[in-house]
Amino acid sequence: MPDRTRRPAPLALAVLLVVVVVAASVALVVRLTGDDKGGPTSSATPTTATPPTTTGDPSDTTSTTIASNLSPDQARTVDRLKAQVAEIRGLEWKRDLPIRIVPVAELDRRVADLTAIERAKRPDDVAAVETVLKLLQLIPADVDYVSTIDELLKGGVLGFYDDEAKELFVAGNPDDDLSLAVQSTMVHELTHALTDQHFDFGGRSHALADQNLDEEAFALSALVEGDAELVRTLWSDKYLTSGQRRQAELETTGDPSDFANIPNYVIQSLYFPYGSGLEFVTALHDKGGFAAVDDAYRQPPTSTEEILHPERFVPGRQWTRPPLADLAGATGCAAVDASTIGEFDMYQVLDEFLAADEARAAAAGWNGDAYRLVRCGTAVGMVDRWQADTAGDLDELADSLGRWARRWSGTNRLPEANGVFSGPGGSGRIIRSADRIDLVIASDASTSDRLSAAVLAA
């Protein structure tokens, strides 16, 4: 079992389509110093490895498949790591996996190219996510979301796994022995390739993204990353001395000041699949070993609620999105986005303006939600409809939202008796009914009134 007294080594952040709209097919490893609110380890994405075939220029990022460029010594190290991962995970390798050690500059170039390709596939998603985050005040209004992500990635990538080309890239010198940090990163990445060969979660991840099932995709990513983190932790405990573990962490820890301008929400959302994912998978492993983890791949978690509360995970159980009227049609505004916030993001929303314990308790009553985002002229507005486990949970959420609203709106007044609130930060309304809460927020009072009227009339 892993050493529970140690937090995950501060090695990486992953870029997930459902969070930052970069690419569901690429996972990235970024150096970062951990703290009480962050500090994940290495990353990878769902992919199925295939036998390598050599194409022309190995530096050509458009190549569909390439050959490994490992030296004999590196190849022996990788073979050892693959055997150790297979032994720990209890699975056999089915196919080969192309692996390349490349300079940091080449890795950055490949990351930038792949990121640009994925963004181009879903430009509307990128803009919609940025709009939602700014309206909720999870990122400042003057922040360029895409540039922020690029800043986070540039020069900080340790490696990535491309789940369409079926290749693994790691930053390093092709002529050097693999450092402990590179080996640790590879163990995490190899776990992804191995488990995907058995459970094909790569295809499932893409299918969820294509269906805009963001909450389900986020939960699946936590299972995937938590599994790889547990294997990496078990590998580290079994094969490295305490001194070697510290050395590996030092080799992959960057300067915290490099990330001083990154909004906390971005850090937290990128860390979630690793930190909370590890806790979720460890809970499964404690009860039934990796057989229980394997079962979770066959019927994976579908919400961040299950990741945050492993005891609530029931394989095969689905949650229900509450019905929400066509707000664009009812208001004459333009539809921009429709999705789910989920327990994790709701906690992040509340945590911006409330004490952490209150925010966590209020979000824990989540039992499904759905939102719609519209644009009315130059103003934007959204409605999030929230279902809770009990009437008491709804009451707790409503009270917390009221205290949150006065800070979000920029005033020190609680909402009026009918739930309306307004201030320099925006306007909105909390509409409490017998079995749900509708949170209406907008950049101006007129849009908030139009959305509130549409909700009440539906």
Summarised one tens digit per residue, pLDDT across range 318-365 is 999 999 999 999 999 999 999 999 999 999 999 999 999 999 999 999
Domain shared by 350 and 413, yes or no: yes
Mean pLDDT of 403-426: 96
Domain boundary among 312, 336, 363: 312
Examine the domain organization and report whether 107 and 232 are in the same domain: yes
Query: Is 88 inside any structural domain?
Result: yes
Last residue of a domain, one of 312, 335, 363: 312
Same domain, 242 and 346: no
pTM: 0.86
Residue 11 lies in a domain: no
Residues 6+ apart with CB under 8 A from 326: 335, 372
Distance of CA 136 to the CA centre of its chain: 18
Query: pLDDT per residue over 44-63, tens digit each?
Result: 332 222 223 333 333 343 33
- The reply to whether 308 and 339 lie within a common domain is no
d(C-alpha 284, C-alpha 293), whole Å: 6
Whether residue 166 is found in the same domain as residue 68: yes
pLDDT (tens digit, 9 = 90+) per residue, 227-251? 999 999 999 999 999 999 988 888 7
| 343 within a domain of the structure (yes/no) | yes
Q: Provide the CB-side half-sphere exposure for 325 (13 A, CA).
A: 15
**How many structural domains compose the chain?**
2
pLDDT of residue 163: 74
**267 and 243, same structural domain?**
yes
Specify whether 143 is located in the same domain as 49: yes
Counting Cβ atoms within 10 Å, is residue 251 exposed (0-12), middle (13-18) or buried (19+)? middle
Residue 167 lies in a domain: yes
pLDDT tens digits for 94-119?
A: 998 999 888 888 888 888 888 788 77
Of the three residues 312, 337, 353, the one that is the final residue of a domain is 312
377 and 304 both lie in a single domain: no
> Tokens for 21?
């709209």
Residue 437 structural domain: 327-457
Say if 154 falls within a structural domain.
yes
Beta bridge partners of 429: 420, 440
User: In this structure, how many other beta carbons lie within 10 angstroms of the beta carbon of residue 233?
Assistant: 25
Q: What is the pLDDT of residue 156?
A: 66
- Label residue 253 by pLDDT band (50, 70, 90): low
Q: 13: closest CA among 195, 239, 221?
A: 221
Examine the domain organization and report whether 69 and 164 are in the same domain: yes
In a domain, 5, yes or no: no
Asked if residue 27 is part of any domain, the answer here is yes
- Residue 1 in domain: no
Verify that 297 and 422 share a domain, yes or no: no
Whether residues 136 and 202 share a domain: the answer is yes
How do residues 167-212 score in pLDDT, each as one tens digit?
A: 888 888 888 889 998 898 899 989 988 998 999 888 888 888 888 8
User: Are 289 and 348 in the same domain?
Assistant: no
Strands (E), 292-408: 334-339, 366-376, 379-388
